[in-house]
């Protein structure tokens, strides 16, 4: 079974030869040069033959051209730390304008996507571009605490900035629509968690921007996934979005995957914890976790994957075990 057929049948809840599977990770250092990031992404795919490729540029790539500066300090997730922010007062939100995708870091990421898409198109591996929600971009520009404070006391000014960041994201994604092999977007949101804000706040402040981005995607992009971060994710808020799968930490609750089968119309993307299974676990533990995930979902509407940004220091035997684990259950 080819990758696209396997993914589409799994998303639709139909029988497949085996569960589709994919892992991803950041490439610190390589993510500062588009050709190096492309080569690392291609090599990783050819080493493990995942069912889709998630392009992982540096976390701040969408806001660096606003003046944000960052560096990698050795974080095991490959995350870069912000050393300079550009929003210091609420009025700064009103001065943000969309970036052009024809220059700077957005152009470089488009060039990376083109190299990867063209290299892997003949191998049938769909490529997804990681994009961060406008509120994440705002928090990179101002800091998490200030962004949330302005959301509550200067909502009109923050909304102005979010509108511009949404437009910037849409222009960037539009620049990718003709690249062979690109099949969709991996849209990351981290504030849809009950320990961060209320459902009403998220529904009013963040969700409309996510919907605008997703509604503006090319019609031929057939695999669009939203990743929901946080310790208490508001999963029900995403049920009406035009996506094919939802990724979250499915280990937060023991029956998370089985509950999702009845609650969502799209597929679950997960089943493995980045820390407990992929980093600290063993091949046997990973095989057991995959078996349990397939049991909870009755081998329907599941893409086996990790739960977050991935890790740069995973044991290679554990990554091999992810592949062998899904094949053993076919």
Q: What is the largest CA-CA distance in the chain?
A: 57
At residue 127, φ and ψ (nearest 5 deg) are -110, 130
- Per-residue confidence at 54, pLDDT binned at 50, 70, 90? very high
Residue 314 · residue 281 · CB < 8 Å: no
- Report the pLDDT averaged over residues 212-217: 98
Q: Residue 223: is its pLDDT beyond 80?
A: yes
Task: Quickly count: other Cβ atoms within 10 Å of residue 267's Cβ.
Answer: 26
- Give me the pLDDT at residue 254, please: 65
- Over residues 152-162, mean pLDDT: 97
User: Which tokens go with 274?
Assistant: 């980045």
Please state the φ and ψ torsions of residue 122, each to the nearest 5 degrees.
Answer: -70, -15
94-147 pLDDT tens trace: 999 999 999 999 999 999 999 999 999 889 999 999 999 999 999 999 999 999
Q: Is the per-residue pLDDT at 82 higher than 90? A: yes
Mean pLDDT of all residues belonging to the chain: 95
Q: Strand 127-132 to strand 80-84: parallel, antiparallel, or no bridges (unpaired)? A: unpaired
CB atoms within 10 A of CB 262: 6
Give percent of the chain above pLDDT 70.
100
Q: Which pTM was predicted?
A: 0.96
Q: Which helix (H) or strand (E) holds 185?
A: strand 182-189
Query: What is the pLDDT confidence band of residue 330, given thresholds at 50, 70 and 90?
Result: confident
Is 288's pLDDT higher than 70?
yes
Q: Is the pLDDT of residue 265 over 90?
A: no
Question: What's the distance, Cα to Cα, between the start and end of the chain in Å?
Answer: 12
Structure tokens at 63: 């806001």
Residue 264, pLDDT > 90, answer no
**Are the CB atoms for 223 and 7 separated by under 8 Å?**
yes
Mean pLDDT, rounded, for 70-74: 95
Q: Quick one: how many helices (H) and strands (E) in the chain?
A: 11, 9
Phi, psi (deg, nearest 5) at residue 183? -115, -5
CA dist 1 to 10, 24, 244, 322, Å?
A: 12, 22, 19, 18
| Average pLDDT of the segment spanning 69-82 | 95
SS3 of 174, please?
Answer: helix
- pLDDT reading at 183 higher than 70: yes
What distance in Å separates the CA atoms of residue 45 and residue 279, rounded to the nearest whole number?
19
Among 148-162, 221-235, 249-263, 296-310, the range scoring the smallest mean pLDDT is 249-263
Coil, helix or strand at residue 247: strand
Quick one: CA torsion of 84, 88, 93, 94, rounded to 10 degrees? Answer: -120
Q: Closest by alpha carbon to 7, among 318, 321, 305, 311?
A: 305
């Amino acid at each position: 079974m080819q990758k696209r057929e396997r993914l589409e049948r799994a998303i639709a809840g139909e029988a497949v030869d085996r569960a589709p599977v994919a892992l991803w990770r950041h490439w610190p250092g390589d993510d500062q040069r588009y050709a190096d990031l492309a080569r690392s992404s291609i090599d990783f795919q050819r080493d493990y033959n995942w069912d889709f490729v998630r392009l992982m540029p540096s976390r701040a790539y969408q806001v660096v051209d606003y003046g944000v500066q960052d560096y990698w300090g050795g974080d095991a997730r490959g995350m870069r730390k912000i050393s300079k922010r550009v929003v210091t007062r609420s009025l700064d939100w009103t001065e943000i304008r969309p970036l052009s995708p024809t220059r700077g870091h957005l152009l470089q990421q488009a060039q990376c996507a083109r190299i990867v898409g063209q290299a892997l198109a003949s191998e049938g591996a769909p490529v997804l571009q990681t994009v961060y929600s406008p509120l994440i971009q705002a928090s990179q520009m101002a800091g998490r605490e200030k962004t949330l404070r302005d959301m509550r006391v200067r909502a009109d000014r923050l909304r102005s900035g979010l509108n511009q960041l949404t437009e910037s994201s849409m222009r960037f994604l539009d620049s990718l629509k003709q690249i062979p092999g690109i099949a969709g977007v991996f849209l990351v949101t981290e504030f849809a968690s009950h320990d961060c804000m209320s459902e009403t706040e998220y529904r009013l402040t963040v969700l409309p921007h996510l919907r605008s981005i997703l509604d503006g995607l090319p019609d031929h992009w057939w695999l669009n996934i939203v990743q929901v971060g946080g310790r208490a994710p508001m999963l029900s808020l995403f049920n009406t979005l035009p996506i094919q799968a939802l990724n979250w930490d499915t280990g937060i609750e023991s029956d998370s995957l089985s509950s999702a089968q009845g609650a969502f119309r799209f597929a679950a993307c997960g089943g493995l914890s980045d820390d407990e299974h992929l980093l600290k676990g063993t091949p046997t533990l990973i095989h057991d976790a995959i078996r349990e995930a397939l049991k909870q979902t009755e081998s329907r509407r599941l893409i086996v994957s990790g739960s977050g940004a991935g890790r740069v220091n995973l044991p290679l035997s554990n990554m091999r075990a992810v592949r062998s684990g899904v094949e053993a259950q076919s």
